[in-house]
Chain A
Amino acid sequence: SQTIHQWPATLVQPVGSPLSLECTVEGTSNPNLYWYRQAAGRGLQLLFYSVGIGQISSEVPQNLSASRPQDRQFILSSKKLLLSDSGFYLCAWKASGVTDTQYFGPGTRLTVL
């Protein structure tokens, strides 16, 4: 069966510090991968998605970036965090091909102080 992992689970970072959040998927090959952000009391905002290694589509221009160095690894980064980067970051995957269901990881809660 497929499993999705995210780490760390929680993170407190000062303004201006760098960020690296990691997401890995097990039990599937060539998944579509997604990063979302959820502010408190809000819905999910799509940040990036990837349909293959090295391919990244950006949905929201900001100080975040994403990379996919391996088939089942998706990384969210920032060189300098802003207060507004605080939120709940969710990674999700969808199997390639005809299936459409998207599954989410457990999330990372980021607080920027």
Chain B
Amino acid sequence: GESVGLHLPTLSVQEGDNSIINCAYSNSASDYFIWYKQESGKGPQFIIDIRSNMDKRQGQRVTVLLNKTVKHLSLQIAATQPGDSAVYFCAERRAGTYKYIFGTGTRLKVLA
């Protein structure tokens, strides 16, 4: 399948530890943000989203934090598992547009 993340920043974490993946977004007018997980050869899979009127949102084992002051988004994965190994992308949607702008991605490697 397609190899993604060949030149992407890599985060290596021990199985069972918590992972934090960071993303800086570009436009202060962005009002909606998404985190995706992409496994090799597959399309990105939706993980969690957050609107700009929130600063935190929790899902199952995942939490997204939004800091609008510094235009920073983070994804926290609790108790990281081998199946979490993938490339993670953040995306921002500019208010009033239909377009989504993607970050460059981070490869997460889970060490047994």
Please list the residues of chain A having a beta carbon within 8 angstroms of any beta carbon in chain B: 32, 34, 38, 40-44, 46, 49, 51, 57, 59, 88, 90, 92, 94, 100-107, 109
Contact = CB atoms under 8 A, between A and B. Distances in A.
A51 B98 contact: yes
A104 B104 CA distance: 17
Contacts of B4: 38, 40-41, 88
A100 B7 contact: no
B7 to A, nearest CB: 4
Given A100-B93, A104-B43, A107-B42, A43 B105 contact: yes
Contacts of B98: 32, 49, 51, 57, 94
Nearest to B7: A41
Given A101-B34, A104-B43, A43 B104 contact: yes
Contacts of B46: 101-104
B92 to A, nearest CB: 11
Nearest to A38: B4
Contacts of B91: 44, 102
B99 A49 contact: yes
B91 to A, nearest CB: 7
B53 interface: no
Nearest to B8: A41
Contacts of A40: 2-4, 6
Contacts of A41: 3-8
